[in-house]
Amino acid sequence: MSTIAIVSQKGGSGKTTLAVNLAAAAEAVGQITLIIDTDAQATASQWGSWRNDRAPEVIDSAPPRIQHKVEQAIAQGATFIVVDTPPHADSAASRAVEVADLVLIPCRPSAFDLAAIRTTVKLIRLFDKPAFVVFTAGPPNAPKIYQDAIDLVRGFGIEACPHLLPDRAAYRHASAAGASVLEFEPDGKATAEIVALHMWACAHVNMSISQHVEV
Ligand SMILES: Nc1ncnc2c1ncn2[C@@H]1O[C@H](COP(=O)(O)OP(=O)(O)O)[C@@H](O)[C@H]1O
Ligand SMILES: [Mg+2]
């Protein structure tokens, strides 16, 4: 079982998009998945309500309750928990990192966005947790942009995830329909990318996917 915190102080960096689609990728391979929405704007919860209770389940949580909700979910059999957080370094982000086995920091590969994640990186350093920047919503074919971004975040003392989530219209269309990209465009590039990211995340937390597939 593993808990993944999605953290970035920058609004619009792709936290909720990553949270719901990563959870959907987990659900698709049979992991018992829960999204904990700690953002008062409740975007992930909105997505959940558009789905009329179709899995993955989305619950909300005030920051002081995050740990309790994670423990409760694990006791009830959850194997993959994703915690979405608000766009500021408040207690929700800290509490989410505290309970996480892996922290992902979505960030657009642009100078302003990259500069802004320094504060997030400082917050995460207070906890001894594996953490990676995930580049989101950048141009799909621009290796130089990503190489520069990787070098820059290394300079902040953090590694980048080798899997990118470049700009794909499927994310916008899927979210608007209360769907994941896996449901919206099963054979699309966005789906292949999020599935690869999910497998990578499982490997990082020593979680074998096959062990968690429900037969
Ligand atoms: N990889 C992507 N490709 C295309 N659009 C994206 C991608 N990631 C995020 N977006 C879009 O960017 C906007 C902000 O994303 P969101 O996940 O709500 O960010 P946050 O939760 O960090 O505020 C949304 O409209 C979302 O659809
Ligand atoms: Mg959000």
What are 135-162's pLDDT values in tens digits? 999 999 999 999 999 999 999 999 999 9
Ligand 1 binding residues, C-beta < 6 A? 11-17, 43, 87, 136-137, 165, 167-168, 171-172, 175
Which of the four pLDDT bands, split at 50, 70 and 90, describes residue 214? very low
How does residue 206 score in pLDDT terms, banded at 50, 70 and 90?
confident
Cβ atoms of 48 and 35 closer than 8 Å? yes
**Mean pLDDT throughout 64-68?**
97
Q: Which ligand has the shortest distance to the CA of 11?
A: 1
Identify the nearest ligand to the CA of 169 by its number. Answer: 1
In the chain, the DSSP E strands lie at 2-6, 33-37, 57-60, 80-84, 102-107, 131-135, 159-160
CATH superfamily of 2-214: P-loop containing nucleotide triphosphate hydrolases (3.40.50.300)
CA of 20 to the centre of ligand 2 (A): 10
Length of the chain: 215
pLDDT > 90? residue 208: no
Confidence of residue 182 (pLDDT cuts 50, 70, 90): very high
Ligand closest to Cα of 113 equals 1
User: Residue 213: pLDDT above 50?
Assistant: no
Average pLDDT over residues 24-49: 97
pTM for the predicted model, two decimal places: 0.96
- The enclosing H or E element of 201 equals helix 189-204
Tell me the two tokens of residue 24.
Answer: 């959907």
Give the residue whose CA is nearest to atom 13 of ligand 1: 12
Q: Average pLDDT for residues 176-205, to the nearest whole number?
A: 97
Q: Which residues surround ligand 2, an ion (CB under 5 A)?
A: 15-16, 43
Mean pLDDT score of the chain, rounded to an integer? 95
SS3 111: helix
Instruction: Kindly give the distance from the C-alpha atom of residue 137 to the centroid of ligand 1, in angstroms, as a whole number.
Output: 7
Residue 196 is predicted with a pLDDT of 98
pLDDT at residue 210, as a whole number: 61
Domain chopping of the chain, boundaries: 2-214
